[in-house]
């Protein structure tokens, strides 16, 4: 079966200020690196507001929509901005994740990579944060639970930053297991092991600065894989950030492309044992353009091999 690549040109219309790391060029480097691969390309639809309401209150959605500038930029916090194209871009991100869930659960594809921006894993219930507007991975999880009737969905976030938004959105959701590995100390400062969710459904794996592939793999083997195996998910959603790469300018971990191949392969193997290999991966961070392209391509190659 095939691997999906879900994206949309609208995601190039979310503009940030000059020098901002979360920039249009990210997709302009990543997508060409995926050309020629055995992928089924899917146009990300716009999410409906009802989709966003799976995790965000209407008042928050209204605030983002009404905050859109007619021209130029509007600033939501120290590093989160809206441009005139941001609303459509954000809807494509959530809508793309939902379409990927529909197609993977519908048996139309083995797995999927949703290459959209802005990212989503820092957006909390009522707070945009860290370049993120809507919690795409959490929306996809709730969509699978509430609308497809799944009983258990695991979300694994290997972005170098703590997935505080996804944690917030899924904190009270016993049908999910949320796992985040992240550098600590590092922005946003949350993600301590003591943060375990209302139903013991959150696992945080802080990693010290300079952690490399061997320690990263050991942490996943000791703490993450057994927990996912025990949870036995019916769908695995990934928050795939590539900013734990050694070249990334925003953090200090030392992963290489081969580590992203490894984590993808191992997580796909767990999915194969529990849920027919059903994996939906959503792009989060990754700010060195070359490393984003190469590690993103390594991730997608591993998805293709797992799905083939």
Active site positions, annotated: 122
* CB-based closest residue to Zn ion: 285
Work out whether strand 176-183 and strand 202-207 pair parallel, antiparallel, or are unpaired.
parallel
Nearer CB in complex with Zn ion: 3/80: 80
23: helix, coil or strand? coil
* Residue 241 in the binding site for Zn ion (CB under 5 A): yes
Q: Three-state SS for 167?
A: helix
Closest distance of CB 243 from Zn ion, Å: 4
Q: Looking at 49-57, 100-108, 132-140, 277-285, which segment touches Zn ion (CB under 5 A)?
A: 277-285
Residue 59 Cβ vs Zn ion, minimum distance, rounded to whole Å: 27
Distance of CA 195 to the CA centre of its chain: 20
Question: CA–CA separation, 102 vs 99, rounded Å?
Answer: 5
Q: How far is the CB of 251 from Zn ion (least distance, A)?
A: 7
Please report whether residue 243 would count as binding Zn ion according to CB under 5 A: yes
Judged by beta carbon, residue 243 or residue 266, the one nearer Zn ion is: 243
What are the φ/ψ torsions at residue 250 (nearest 5 degrees)?
-95, -5
Question: What minimum distance in Å lies between the beta carbon of 130 and Zn ion?
Answer: 7
Please give the structure tokens belonging to residue 264: 């993808």
What's the rounded Cα separation, in Å, for the pair 118 and 136? 10
Q: Do 171 and 126 touch, CB atoms closer than 8 A?
A: no
Closest-CA residue to 228 (of 189, 267, 191): 267
| φ, ψ at 299 (rounded to 5°) | -60, -50
Per-residue binding string, Zn ion, 155-184, x by CB under 5 A, is ----x-x-----------------------
What's the closest the beta carbon of residue 241 comes to Zn ion, in angstroms?
4
Identity of the residue, 22 or 234, whose beta carbon is nearer to Zn ion in the bound complex:
22
Cβ proximity to Zn ion, 159 vs 257, nearer residue: 159
Distance from C-alpha of 158 to C-alpha of 239, rounded to nearest angstrom: 6
Answer for which of 285, 292, 296, 303 binds Zn ion (CB under 5 A) is 285
Quick check: 288 binds Zn ion (CB under 5 A)?
no
User: For binding to Zn ion (CB under 5 A), which residues are involved?
Assistant: 159, 161, 241, 243, 285
């Amino acid at each position: 079966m095939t691997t999906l690549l879900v994206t949309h040109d609208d995601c190039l219309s979310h503009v940030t200020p000059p020098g901002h790391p979360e920039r249009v060029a990210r997709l302009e480097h990543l997508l060409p690196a995926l050309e020629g691969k055995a992928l089924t390309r899917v146009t990300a639809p716009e999410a409906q507001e009802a989709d966003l309401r799976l995790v965000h209150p209407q008042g928050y959605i209204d605030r983002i929509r009404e905050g859109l500038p007619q021209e130029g930029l509007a600033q939501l916090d120290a590093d989160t901005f809206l441009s005139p194209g941001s609303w459509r871009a954000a809807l494509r991100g959530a809508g793309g994740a939902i379409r990927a869930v529909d197609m993977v659960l519908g048996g139309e594809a083995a797995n999927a990579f949703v290459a959209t921006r802005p990212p989503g894993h820092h957006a909390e219930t009522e707070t945009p944060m860290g370049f993120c507007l809507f919690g795409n991975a959490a929306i996809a999880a709730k969509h699978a639970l509430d609308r497809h009737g799944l009983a258990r969905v695991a979300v694994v976030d290997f972005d170098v930053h703590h997935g505080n938004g996804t944690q917030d959105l899924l904190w009270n959701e016993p049908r999910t297991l949320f796992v985040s590995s992240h550098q600590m100390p590092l922005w946003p400062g949350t993600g301590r092991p003591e943060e375990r969710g209302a139903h013991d459904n959150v696992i945080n794996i802080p990693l010290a600065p300079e952690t490399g592939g061997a320690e990263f793999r050991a942490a996943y083997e000791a703490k993450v894989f057994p927990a996912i195996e025990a949870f036995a998910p019916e769908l695995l959603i990934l928050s795939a950030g590539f900013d734990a790469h050694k070249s990334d300018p925003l953090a200090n971990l030392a992963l290489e492309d081969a580590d992203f191949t490894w984590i993808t392969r191992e997580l796909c193997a767990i999915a194969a044992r529990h849920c027919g290999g059903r994996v939906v991966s959503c792009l989060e961070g990754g700010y060195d353009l070359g490393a984003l392209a190469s590690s993103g391509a390594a991730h997608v190659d591993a998805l293709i091999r797992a799905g083939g």
